[in-house]
Structure 1
Amino acid sequence: MRIGFAGLGNMGGRMSACIVRAGRSVLGYDVLPSNISNAGAKAAANIGEMVDGSDIVLLSLPDSHVVEAVVLGDDGVLAHARPGLIVVDLSTAAPDSTTRIHRLLTEKGASYLDAGISGGAAAAEKGALTLMVGGEADVLDRARPVLDLFAAQVFHCGPSGAGHTVKLLNNFLNATALSATAEVMVAGKKAGLDLDVLLAVLNASSGVNFATLNRFPKIVHGDYLKGGLTNSLMLKDVNLYVALAAKLGVASLNAAGPVAAFGAARALGYADEISNTVVDAIGDLSGGVRLQEKP
């Protein structure tokens, strides 16, 4: 199966590199040519050339607007789609957009899977991502040998749109835990607590979460784990969740916290920094607190 990959940035580049390390060739397209070479891919001149030279096309793009531009734009994926082609969207996207693209590609005999990813840059580097996939089960079976090159776990979540829906639900919980833990750590710092001890207590108690286990043990010593989701993208994902909740008629009572936290991070100059720096934004608003500084 010939592999094409559009979007070889922070996450896509790492996934492509995993595929290449497994001995497979990747035909890549990115607006930054350096991303293609850094990912170990061969450069396609344009999207159409990439699609024509591939049996499966992977997309790792910032949002639905970019996905639609790549898929539905002039000389895009849809224009070059053909029976048997599989397109796997690894982006975090709006489910409504996803199901529309699925319908349009299906009409041309191609297949479309929405595959949200979790695990961040570290898991992408090791080929240990978790994938949550929407679409036809038999198409996933055909795509799985390629997905297994960079994913440790692949879950079939349901029909088209289900993968991106599960991704939004997961990212909302991630954003809530990260922003709430950041606030707690700033409070702990201002209270004069030993932050390593605080984390040990939290991780042995009911406040434990992914951020206390995996993020803040590094952050308190100055390692922000750069390379992951930015504050702007985290805010985008939370807002996508809010829109989904509104469509479903679900009262979104807990969204205000992460919307405010990541919105503040963006406004204070951390827009393109890893979302872990939300703790510095909260620190800025709390008197210039940094977790690493001695009292």
Structure 2
Amino acid sequence: MRIGFAGLGNMGGRMSACIVRADREVLGYDLRPDNIVAAGAKAAGSVGEVTDGSDILLLSLPDSRAVEAVVLGDDGVLAHARPGQIVVDLSTAAPDSTTRIHRLLAERGAAYLDAGISGGAAAAEKGTLTLMVGGEPDVLDRARPVLELFSANIFHCGPSGAGHTVKLLNNFLNAVALSATAEVMVAGKKAGLDLETVLAVLNASSGVNFATLNRFPKIIHGDYLRGGLTNTLMLKDVNLYVELVARLGVVSPNSAGPLASFGLARALGYADEISNTVVDAIGDLSGGVRLHTKEEPAA
């Protein structure tokens, strides 16, 4: 299968590089030509060109608005889609938009998979992402050999939209854990506690979570693991989750925390910084607290 890739930023570029390292050629399109070069892809001049030149087209874009622009716009994916072609959306998008695009591509004989990803920049770099996929099982079977080039776990979650729905559920829990742990770590710092000890206790106790295990052991030493989801994108994902559960009729009292935390980070100038810097936003309003002791900028 000829592989195309549209959207070669922080995550898409890393996934493309994994494919290239497996000795597969990637035809890539991005608004920034330097991203195509960094991803090791061969450059396409337009969305139409990358669609025409691929049997499986991967998308990694910021949100549903960007996905719809690429797929439904003039000279977009839909205008060039053909029978038997597979389009895989690796973005975090609204499930209702996803199912609409699925239907429109199906009318042209093309297949559409929504494949939410988890693991962050580090997993994308190593090719060990987790994928949550919605769409027809037989289409996933056809796409799997390509998807396995940058993922370690692939879950079929159900029909179209199910992958992006599970992704929103996962990202909401990630946002809760990250923002709550950031607050706790700032409190620990202000209490004069040794943060290595605090993390060791949390990770051996009921407060353990992904952030305590994988993020804050680095953050307390000034390494913010840059390259992953920004505060702006995290806030976008939480808002998508809130919209989803509202449509489902599920109350969401727990969304207030991450909405406030990542909204605060945006307002204080951390909008385009990795979401781990939410701890600095909380620290700013707590007396200028930084978890790390080195004399170095936090952002």
TM tier, smaller: over 0.9
Question: Where does structure 2 lack aligned partners over 5 or more consecutive residues?
Answer: 295-299
Work out the CA distance in 1 between the residues paired with 2:225 and 2:32. 23
Distance (whole Å) between structure 1 residues aligned to residue 148 and residue 48 of structure 2: 26
What is the count of residue pairs matched by the alignment?
A: 294
Please report the TM-score for the alignment, with normalisation by the length of structure 1: 0.99
SS in 1 for 2:10: coil
Look up the equivalent residue of 2:175 and give its one-letter code: A
Query: What is the identity, as a one-letter code, of the residue corresponding to 1:150?
Result: F
Q: Distance in 1 between matches of 2:287 and 2:152?
A: 42
Partner of residue 181, structure 1:
181
Task: Supply the RMSD in Å over aligned alpha carbons.
Answer: 0.6
SS of residue paired to 2:88:
strand
The residue that corresponds to 1:251 in the other structure is 251
The answer to whether the 8 A contact 2:116-2:164 is kept is yes
* Contact residue 2 and residue 56 of structure 2 kept, 8 A: yes
SS of alignment partner, residue 152 of structure 1:
strand
Distance 2:47 2:7 in 1: 10
CA contact (8 A) 2:221 2:293 kept: no
Is residue 17 of structure 2 the alignment partner of residue 17 of structure 1?
yes
> Which contiguous aligned blocks of 4+ residues in structure 1 show a shift greater than 3 angstroms?
none
Which residue does 1:280 correspond to in 2?
A: 280
Q: Which amino acid aligns with 2:285?
A: L
Aligned positions of 1:150-161 closer than 5 A:
150-161=150-161
Match of 1:205 in 2: 205
Query: Is the contact made by 2:127 and 2:151 (CA closer than 8 Å) also made in structure 1?
Result: yes
Deviation per CA, 1:22-61, whole angstroms, max 9, x where unpaired? 0000000000000001000000011111111100000000
1:95 to partner: Cα distance: 0.1
Find the aligned partners of 2:126 and 2:291 in 1 and give their Cα distance: 29
2:212 partner letter: T
**How far apart in 1 are the matches of 2:90 and 2:15?**
10
Supply the distance in 2 between the matched residues of 1:8 and 1:119 (Cα, whole angstroms).
Answer: 17
Measure, in 2, the Cα distance between the counterparts of 1:45 and 1:210.
Answer: 40
The secondary structure found in structure 1 opposite 2:139 is helix
> 1:117 is paired with a residue of what secondary structure?
strand
Task: Give CA deviations for 1:212-253 in whole Å, capped at 9, x if unaligned.
Answer: 000000000110001110000000000000000100000011
For residues 152 and 257 of structure 2, the distance between their equivalents in structure 1, rounded to whole angstroms, comes to 32
The separation in 2 between residues aligned to 1:228 and 1:86, in whole angstroms, is 27
Alignment of 1:37-186 (within 5 A): 37-186=37-186
- The 2-side partners of 1:96 and 1:130 are apart by 22
How far the C-alpha of 1:125 sits from its partner, in A, is 0.2
In the aligned structure 2, how far is the partner of 1:122 from the partner of 1:54?
27
Query: CA offsets per residue over residues 249-285 of structure 1, 9 Å max, x none?
Result: 0001100000000000000000000000000000001
Percent identity of equivalent pairs: 85
Partners of 1:292 and 1:51 in 2: how far apart? Answer: 46
Q: Which residue of 2 aligns with 1:216?
A: 216
User: Residue type matched to 1:139 in 2?
Assistant: V
Instruction: Kindly indicate whether residue 267 of structure 2 is the aligned counterpart of residue 267 of structure 1.
Output: yes
Unaligned runs of 5+ in 1: none
Deviation, structure 1 residue 292 = 1.0
Q: Does 1:232 align with 2:232?
A: yes
- 3-state SS, counterpart of residue 5 of structure 1: strand
Task: Provide the rounded CA distance (Å) in 1 between the counterparts of 2:209 and 2:38.
Answer: 34
Q: Partner letter of residue 159 of structure 1? A: P
Name the SS for the 2:18 alignment partner. helix
What amino acid is the match of 2:249? G
What SS is found at the alignment partner of 1:255? helix
Task: Write the distance in 2 (CA, Å) between the matches of 1:222 and 1:81.
Answer: 46
SS at match of 1:228: coil
**1:84 positional shift:** 0.4
- The CA deviation at 1:293 is 2.9
Q: Which secondary structure does the structure 1 equivalent of 2:253 belong to?
A: coil
Q: Look up the match of 1:192.
A: 192
| CA offset digits 1:178-202 (Å, max 9, x no partner) | 0000000000000000000000000
